[in-house]
Amino acid sequence: DSIANQIAAGEVIQRPASVVKELIENSLDAGATHIILSVKDAGRTFIQVIDNGKGMSATDLRMAFERHATSKIRSADDLFSLTTMGFRGEALPSIAAISHIEVKSRREEDELGSLLVISGSKVEKQEMVAAATGTSITVKNIFFNVPARRKFLKSNETERRNIFTEFERIVLVNPDVEFTLIENGVETLHLPKTGLRQRIVQIEGKNTNQQLIEINEETTLGKIYGYIARPEFARKGKVNQFFFVNNRYIRHPYFHRAVTTAFEPLIAANEKPGYYIYFQVDPDTIDVNIHPTKTEVKFENEQALWQILMVTVKESLGKFNAIPTI
Ligand code: ADP
Ligand code: MG
């Protein structure tokens, strides 16, 4: 059973960044307004997420580590809906199977919180303790019992970047949530609650603000909004490219080409346009790959959306005089 747990864990948890993603998504699901992520050694030895969300009762906490103990699946349709996060009751048991995990949680209405300590799926301790409202989860020594996985991890530099990438994708769809990032005991990023534009600026740096051009288009196929970076910015080296659908990050090479097509007259072939583009569509019109680590999504109306996106970006570039008039 513990071997089965470890194998299943490998599906969901591939590296420290996967733990970070699952824990933060749980905190968001719990309605947290402030989330603190703390990592040491690129997450190898220590990952901690503290939230001020709704917390769990002692029973809920224990249940959360039973496989498929999710509170989320209500219908088979939910499996295809991007409105719920995470991988449906797999994350916590999977993390517990391959690490030393300590969780403290308290609901507002409870006087005491509870503490649960699990090591390689084995419950070591559960007791009532004083605790702040919300949940604090500490994951130590990821893959301590799966040497093959541990060996598969990349350099600290790479694992750290993977963590930051997940963090960035999440904070960019939750500007109304405050985030704190602590690395090896030092606070490296603090993002107070704000609006979307300012959240991008918080991440990319102050002088990004004047580089951002808003896009906003509502159609029968859904809403497309967000920001593109002025073409001059493509020349300055550091650009980011993000697509999100229904508040989840996706990769979309086809839509990427719609954006580059719109930018084409304005930038050189080796330059990359920066963009933060958000789609809101009916979940029934997208097909999500069920695997939790995949970020590919198929849209029902892909060709029409390609066209709308391309024209929207082009018009915004023109409207803000980014396109020189002849
Ligand atoms: P899922 O998120 O798919 O339901 P998880 O294994 O990630 O599965 O979590 C299991 C359950 O534990 C969640 O459904 C939720 O009820 C509870 N839970 C996990 N993390 C938190 C948290 N930070 N705050 C409150 N409840 C949580
Ligand atoms: Mg989850």
> Beta 134-140 vs 275-280: how paired, if at all?
unpaired
Q: Are residues 40 and 148 in the same domain?
A: yes
What total of structural domains would you count in the chain? Answer: 2
| Cα–Cα distance list, 322 to 18, 33, 229, 231 (Å) | 39, 37, 10, 7
Which of 13, 26, 57 for a ligand 1 pocket mutation test, highest count of atoms within 8 Å of Cβ? 26
Q: What is the DSSP letter of 85?
A: -
- Cα 87 to ligand 1 centroid, rounded to whole Å: 10
Q: Are residues 26 and 132 in the same domain?
A: yes
Query: Does residue 48 line the site of ligand 1, with CB under 6 A?
Result: no
CA dist 276 and 232 (Å) reads 16
The reply to whether 201 falls in a domain is no
The reply to whether 23 falls in a domain is yes
Q: What is the CATH number of the domain that holds 27?
A: 3.30.565.10
Residue 97 structural domain: 2-191
Which of 27, 57, 92, 99 for a ligand 1 pocket mutation test, highest count of atoms within 8 Å of Cβ? 92
The reply to whether 311 falls in a domain is yes
Q: What is the CATH number of the domain that holds 218?
A: 3.30.230.10
pLDDT tens sequence for the chain (326 residues): 566 666 666 667 889 999 999 999 999 999 999 999 999 999 999 999 999 999 999 999 999 998 764 555 444 444 444 334 444 678 999 999 999 999 999 999 999 999 999 999 999 999 999 999 999 999 999 999 999 999 999 999 999 999 999 999 999 999 999 999 999 999 999 999 999 999 999 999 888 889 999 999 999 999 999 999 999 887 776 679 999 999 999 999 999 999 999 999 999 988 999 999 999 999 999 987 655 566 788 899 999 999 999 999 999 999 766 555 44
Give the residue from 174, 169, 165 showing the smallest Cα distance to 194: 174
Give the residue from 318, 295, 316 showing the smallest Cα distance to 248: 295
The reply to whether 200 falls in a domain is no
CA dist 103 and 61 (Å) reads 8
Q: What is the pTM of this model?
A: 0.91
**Which residues have CB under 8 Å from 195's CB, separation 6+?**
175
Q: Are residues 138 and 210 in the same domain?
A: no
SS3 content of the chain, % helix, strand, coil (to 5): 35, 30, 35
Query: Does residue 53 line the site of ligand 1, with CB under 6 A?
Result: yes
Is the reported ipTM for this assembly greater than 0.90?
yes
- Cα 265 to ligand 2 centroid, rounded to whole Å: 43
Pair 323, 262: CB distance under 8 Å: no
